[in-house]
A and B are shown apart, each in its own frame.
Chain A
């Protein structure tokens, strides 16, 4: 009996193998390889896919004790606070801040990285080259907590460097932490401070990968440094530049939470110009314990961001397919 069923099984297995498309035969044939993906897949299932279902929290009045199913359904109530207030609604200034900051970060960041990479490659002195590169990479290695400390030590009104310098020069101190308009510049500065050295290396790698002969030929034809940069280096960097910019555009609704949070913390006076979706969501959850609003804002961030990425990708696929993200 048993033998019979076993034979049947192997026959079935063989049949499955012959049918090339069999899911089980494929899984069985490369058992070990599929097993290797299980830990990672479990991770994404638990920490990415299950939370996606948690989008539902945005529509209920979630109660930790009662659980998901027993918490009352409240429809769009959680979105109310987020979208109400006309042009002063959180959704308006948060979207504006998030997108504008990220656009500036992506564009200015990449431009600075290209500029510094080009400058470094034209330097002949080995020592200076290495020194400049090492020093500019240094900020990448420290935590954002330290970045926040540095900013505070420069700008605080009591003993910050800026104010002690102003006072030494005979001027009066200024309270930078009360001035709204200056913060977009400070935040952008620290973003560039932390990221330029790191991003620069990518462009350096690209430049060193270029064919030297092109440069030699250009030099023989009487090409000077400016022309070299203008007509050889920059055009050849263009694909890398476009690729990196497009890649970062995918995260335009997210990102740099730690930068904003450590520079501003809970200084409510500055939120108008410094609050982004990430910091708003974090505060709504950890400070105000408003899980509903926080989830609602998160849902908006995810959905809007997703639509943005898909749209951008579609446009790219139409204009230059080789740069498309997926």
Chain B
């Protein structure tokens, strides 16, 4: 009798959990459906009746306008792909080298170096001095302005260091006895064993570079060098831009309609949505490792 009662309340609790999780999932996914259906809607109907979950008057006009003159979007894709590829590649390399070095216990000044890196998260000069340094390096309106300023993160370096610390010292020692130099030890022993953390950080980096519009907003004024997200940002804010910047870039074009804006949003998110199921698996693995080891 007693146990039965308990399981009934437990059942109720489980139903409650299922309900909350369902609502949570819906809240997370509905906005995406809204954007997707909006991008397939008829712009006149949206202006009259507003957005809805199902497309209003199915139309491909939003996408047609992008693919009629695809040169801009292709350029933006090129910039985004290059920035993501180069940034992730170089960043991972620089951080792996440093993380490996300071994970080695025989390195006497490893803690000094670690603190030098950690201290940058505690205190900074702020936006303006940072902006001026990047400008003085001549990076303005260069594609490297989208890559170099965020190539290293102290947090990621320390994560790599912590992971590599858990690799048994004996393995590194034996590689040394066989006559392997530091680089060889790193490449053939340590990197293969650190694959989980390195893959995770590569994903974090790639996502950050792909979604970045901030660096572009600070350093890039040439439209040819706009990455996808910044292009999207400008399309979405076209109306207010006209008011503030002046008509220079926009007079010749008609303002994008709401459906065109949304189609652009879908195109800019594109690859991530396709890669999502694959990426998600690694993300979950990666964060778990970070949580256990970090």
User: A residues near B, CB below 8 A?
Assistant: 26, 30, 32-34, 36-37, 39-41, 43-44, 46-55, 57, 116, 119-120, 122-123, 128, 131-146, 148-150, 152-154, 158-161, 163-164, 167, 193, 196-198, 201-202, 204-206, 208-209, 222, 224-226, 240, 250-251, 257-258, 265-266, 281-282, 285-286, 291, 294-295, 297-299, 301-302, 305-306, 309-310, 326
A198 to B152, CA, bound (A): 22
A-B contact count (CB 8 A): 277
The reply to whether B25 and A132 form a contact with Cβ atoms under 8 Å apart is: yes
Of residues 235 to 294 in B, which have CB atoms within 8 Å of A's CB atoms?
Answer: 236-237, 240, 244, 258, 261-262, 265, 268-269, 272-273, 276-277, 279-280, 283-284, 287-292
| Inter-chain contacts of B126 with A (CB < 8 A) | 51, 54-55, 281, 294-295, 297-299, 301-302
Interface string of B7-19 (1 = CB under 8 A from A): 1011001100110
Q: Which one of B62-70, B71-79, B162-170, B210-218 contacts A?
A: B210-218
With contacts A39-B98, A164-B49 taken as known, whether A282 is within 8 angstroms of B127 at the C-beta atoms is: yes
Whether B14 pairs with A55 at a CB distance below 8 angstroms is no
Q: Which residue of A lies closest to B51 (CB)?
A: A161
- Provided the pairs A26-B109, A119-B17 are in contact, do residues A285 and B291 lie with their beta carbons within 8 angstroms? no
Q: Does B191 touch A at the CB level, under 8 Å?
A: no
- Report which of B13, B97, B290 forms a contact with A202, defined as CB distance below 8 A: B290
**Given A150-B34, A224-B6, A33-B207 contact (CB < 8 Å):** no
Residues of A within 8 A of B284 (CB): 133, 137, 201
List chain B residues, Cβ under 8 A from A309. Answer: 122
Q: Are B292 and A205 in contact (CB under 8 A)?
A: yes
The interface residues of chain B, by DSSP majority, are classed as helix
Interface residues on B, range: 35 or more
10 A/B residue pairs, CB under 8 Å, sorted by A: A39-B97, A51-B126, A138-B276, A160-B51, A201-B291, A205-B287, A285-B127, A297-B126, A310-B122, A326-B115
In the complex formed, the residue of A with least CB distance to B129 is A54
Does B28 sit within 8 A of A, measured CB to CB? yes
B229 at the interface (CB under 8 A from A): yes
Indicate which residue in B21, B31, B117, B130 contacts A40 across the interface (CB closer than 8 Å): B117
On whether A298 and B125 interact (CB within 8 A), knowing A161-B34, A205-B292, the answer reads yes
* Chain B nearest CB, measured from A190 CB (Å): 10
> A37-B102, A285-B128 are contacts. A54–B133 as well, Cβ < 8 Å?
yes
B49 touches A291 (CB 8 A): no
Give complex CA distance A135, B276 in Å: 10
Q: Are A143 and B181 in contact (CB under 8 A)?
A: no
Using Cβ atoms and an 8 Å threshold, which residues of chain A touch B18?
123, 128
Q: Which of A144, A251, A309 has the most chain B CB atoms closer than 10 A to its own CB?
A: A144
